[in-house]
Structure 1
């Protein structure tokens, strides 16, 4: 009777061994890759909406080319991210297949061992563990050793059943993960095929636009007018900043003159008060020192020397467009470049070329998000096509301090930094200015 009960118990446990448990481990790396992909999808959708609006509203030639180029860059980045996701999921599926095969082998071995165990219980009758257990519990002997063997016999079968149940549960979890990854892989491949076809269409559209620009004189004239208008906007901004600087200098001079006049009046009044001689002398000394400091400051402001000292290259990368009159690399028409263009990489850090104060942070036509820094001698440096800006107007910056990240907004030919230098309202060659000691 004990034999039948024990065997029935083992068979019951074996029947429920396939019950599963919730998956405890998640693939963090795959989740992070999915999140990065979602961010790219949102950015790409936004830029495509902007391009669709341009196509219906007949915006400027340069704006259209710029957005076409940005969309191509983002589509390429998105395809690259899709490929990384695809490779990662393929690796995960391959590993899961190997894990499931290994688990199948272990489960098969465990089942074979348990079938043998149950068969032996029936075949050998009283010569089994149940009989040994009965003898240990009814006969006299070493109590501690008897307890050890009782636990050993009771735990062995329970551990075997628990191990099998865990193996079956793990296999079920891995099989579910495999199906999930395969479904995601199928979706990614479909999306990738669509985006690859879209990339070809975008490249063809950009090529048609550039070919039209090369051969259509009317389109060339439109592009040139737009380019010149953007140049005038930039010069007007610098002129406005310079006028503000000069106005501040004049106000400083007037404030200094009023302060000196007030000081003289105070000195005359103080001479009539002989009884306060000691106080008057101390006050004069303090005022004199203050006057000396403010006078030096005013002189420094009015008669600032040309900015000197080593400077910092604002971005690491090759120069793709130099200062002055030249053929535009995209428009293929002669233009006068007010600055230089430096090729950048996505996420590249933009640095302040020299110490100064942030005079303006704004979206500038033809330059996109930009920063203008005013230096101590009335020199202005301009940093355009920024993806991200990390400084605010009025903030002091040090030489080589990071001010943002380079991007391709309002660019016609990829990720780059537009860098301009103006001494007052007169632009100069930025590369020569950077070399000045």
Structure 2
């Protein structure tokens, strides 16, 4: 049904009611005294004004709440994006460090392999010497020494043999020490690489979570922006629609024909324009589109698309056409300041100026204008003020 209504409708109708009261009687002669508002009518207007002001305060509070939520989410999004940027920079540095460590790992592994190869080569040479010495005993050493020309040559040869043996031992020991140091460095690099890889994985996971959080916040902001745009558009349309209807009723009542109808009291009763359950009643309700509490100025009657709509009472069609919020709309003036409105019609069966009888088909149920599905939005207005049709 019609998803419209709010404080602006009440305000427009209040203005309409004021003008309707002003034209309810023909102008008096200069000698006549202007009628004064009775205390009861003044009190009623004050109550209506208070209700309108309450709606205005509520609307402003809701807008402030939406803006506060927008600001909070925007601030959270900016903080998350900053954290995401910092995390990405850290991740970039960690990955560069990991690449450096892995390069050192490869170099250390190659160095370790080279030392292992040299050590094995030196150990093979030593093993060969030991084997030869074992096979020949001390004969070879003795021959070297006996081959000395004199004592000085003997001492020199003994010294050389000792140096060769000691050099071999030192070389093997040095290679073993280098190998141990390189192996220790490799162990440290492996551990460092493992720690950096773990840090990289943690930062990558943190980046993923922050990206997901950022996407969620952006989606929420987009939803809020769409919802706000929808509310602003709906409010603009409904406010304009209510102004147009109120202006039309005022113009109608100011004509001689309209004043005649206004002066003629309405004594008839209403019939239901369509058969079907009432899915949204008159009064304050939680709006299904705006998601806020709003005044519903009529009743919504569920009915299939194309169901005939009947005039609730005798009267004259004063409007038959399209109004943005209401869609295809018919307004019937029943006299005495009483009018009925039929909104969201799929098609109209009467035109402006048509005199209709109670029960006559005037249109067909639809979902034009701002509606969530086929239904009839039905209003009753007295002097421009919406009243409960039931």
The alignment's TM-score, normalised by the length of structure 2, stands at 0.40
Name which structure has the greater RCO, CA cutoff 8 Å, separation 6+: 2
Relative to its length, the structure with more helix (as a share) is 1
The alignment's TM-score, normalised by the length of structure 1, stands at 0.36
